[in-house]
Amino acid sequence: MVQAAGKRMKEDWRSVYPWSGSSHLPHLGSFLAYETHSTSLGAWAEVGVNKEGQGKLGQLIEFGSVNNAPHPGGPGALAKAAPILEAELAALAESLIAGGFTVGSVSSTPSRFNS
């Protein structure tokens, strides 16, 4: 779920001008990336700009400067991805509480605690 949310967010961010490509920065969107991480405490995704090539201009494009207006793509992508992930996690939690064993690609094996 977190992997899919990170990918959705990256693609939504990439769809916003000039991240989708412009005559001056045709490859800017290709420097957007995401990574997922997990520990025993949880999982998360990091979505952002690789700072190489045209990606070095990512912060300037996203936040603007004294001479350039911002062209944010990240906040809108996050606002779109968060409720989807929240709904998926809620469905998983409800299924697990109800004793279900499979939700989407997440599965649980029966144990003495949920039998």
The type of residue at 113 is F
Say whether 23 sits in a helix, a strand or coil: coil
Domain boundaries, the chain: 2-100
Q: What is the pTM of this model?
A: 0.75
Q: How far apart are CA 98 and CA 5, in angstroms?
A: 25
Confidence category of residue 22, pLDDT binned at 50, 70, 90? confident
Contact 27, 54 (CB under 8 A): yes
Q: Note the pLDDT tens digit of each residue in 40-99.
A: 888 899 999 998 988 899 889 999 999 999 999 999 999 999 999 999 989 988 888 888
**What residues have CB less than 8 Å from 65, skipping those under 6 apart?**
none
